[in-house]
Amino acid sequence: MNTFGTVAPSSRFLSKRMLKKIDFKNAKVFVELGSGNGAITAYILEKLSPDSILICFEINDYFYNQLIALKHPQLIVVKSSAENIKEELNKQNLNKTDYIISSLPLTIIPENISDLILIKSFEALVDNGTFIQYQYSLTYFKKLKRVFKEAITLEFELLNFPPAFIYSCKKVR
């Protein structure tokens, strides 16, 4: 399977817009799915409070090695698929995460796997935790709505190539 989901890395505009509503002061556990070359990772690491951690999931060898090379004390890089989020959190003695920031190309991941990723991500979030995902079209809105119900807000970042939709999905029961 191709593990490159985009034609270009996320722009700083997209990265900043994805992170702008995150409460970095009070959140302790962050997960990034499909970290790629670390374009968004770098912005997250800049904003982490001293007692927070970021767990990055990356299955591509090249990108995994780039993330490991960052050698940041608050960064944990796992070479595991996103549907293993709960197991990987457990390995770190963590039960839940406050935020999941996803750059996964959900529309090109096999449907059974992408469905599992969304369900497992929902389960891994604390109550009122947020799943943030960007996509290049609105085709995934219905799938996100099945998992996160009505607790979804949508933004658009024009200053990215290609322009991207940003879904912010809250875990509410």
Query: Could you give the 3-state DSSP secondary structure of residue 44?
Result: helix
Please state, for a pLDDT cut of 70, what percent of the chain lies above it.
Answer: 94
- Predicted pLDDT at 10: 67
Distance in angstroms (rounded) separating the CA atoms of residues 63 and 11: 17
Task: Give this prediction's pTM.
Answer: 0.92
What is the tens place of the pLDDT at every residue in 24-80? Answer: 999 999 999 999 989 899 999 999 999 999 999 999 999 999 999 999 999 999 999
Residue range 105-132: average pLDDT? 96
**Distances from the Cα of 110 to the Cα of 22, 117, 163, angstroms:** 29, 11, 23
Calculate the CA 94 to chain-centre distance: 17
Residue 76's region, left for phi above 0, alpha for psi from -120 to 50, else beta, is beta
Choose the weakest-confidence range: 60-64, 83-87, 136-140: 136-140
Q: What is the pLDDT of residue 9?
A: 56
Model confidence over 40-53: pLDDT tens digits?
Answer: 999 999 999 999 99
